[in-house]
Amino acid sequence: MINSIGKTLLLIILLFGSVVAAPKDLPAHAFPDHSEPRVGSTVEGSPPSVRIWFDGALESAFTTIVVQDKSGQNVDKGTGRVNPSDPTILEVELPQLPPGRYHVIWDVLARDGHRTKGDYTFKIK
Ligand SMILES: [Cu+2]
């Protein structure tokens, strides 16, 4: 049995679902396009930084990126930021890291006020 509140919630869920399913219709809504190191890749030696290119400009405030080792410890230099000369790039510097699997975790706010978050791993050999 669905009451009016239930119908309203269902409508909100359907609308939200359609927005998520059709990000290309909302160019200001920031989604990752590609990254360096690439998602799931194995790189030779410790990279100097992790960079993620988004399809829209990011707000510096409320936008974070961290890199963790397999035990969940942050291993980046704590310099996560939106690139000052290109607001579609989220980046963080890395120290010299030993071989292993690393986890990149990001959370961004686009200029249109929409938040997206995600994570991926890469390996250093
Ligand atoms: Cu949006």
Task: Note the pLDDT tens digit of each residue in 5-52.
Answer: 555 555 544 555 544 544 444 456 799 999 999 999 999 999 999 999
What is the distance in A from the centroid of ligand 1 to the CA of 110?
A: 6
Alpha-carbon distance of 37 to 16, in angstroms, equals: 31
* Structural domain boundaries, residue 53: 32-124
Alpha-carbon distance of 58 to 54, in angstroms, equals: 8
Count of structural domains within the chain? 1
Whole-structure pTM value: 0.76
- For residue 79, give the CATH number of its domain: 2.60.40.1220
What is the distance in A from the centroid of ligand 1 to the CA of 56?
A: 9
pLDDT band at 62 (very low <50, low <70, confident <90, very high): confident
Does 19 fall in a domain?
no
Residues with CB under 5 A from ligand 1 (ion): 26, 29, 112, 114
What is the distance in A from the centroid of ligand 1 to the CA of 111?
A: 8
Does 9 fall in a domain?
no
Residue 60 has pLDDT above 60, yes or no: yes
Does 21 fall in a domain?
no
Does 108 fall in a domain?
yes
Query: What distance lies between CA 118 and its chain's CA centroid?
Result: 5
Q: How does the average pLDDT of the chain come out, rounded?
A: 86
Percentage, residues of the chain above pLDDT 70: 78
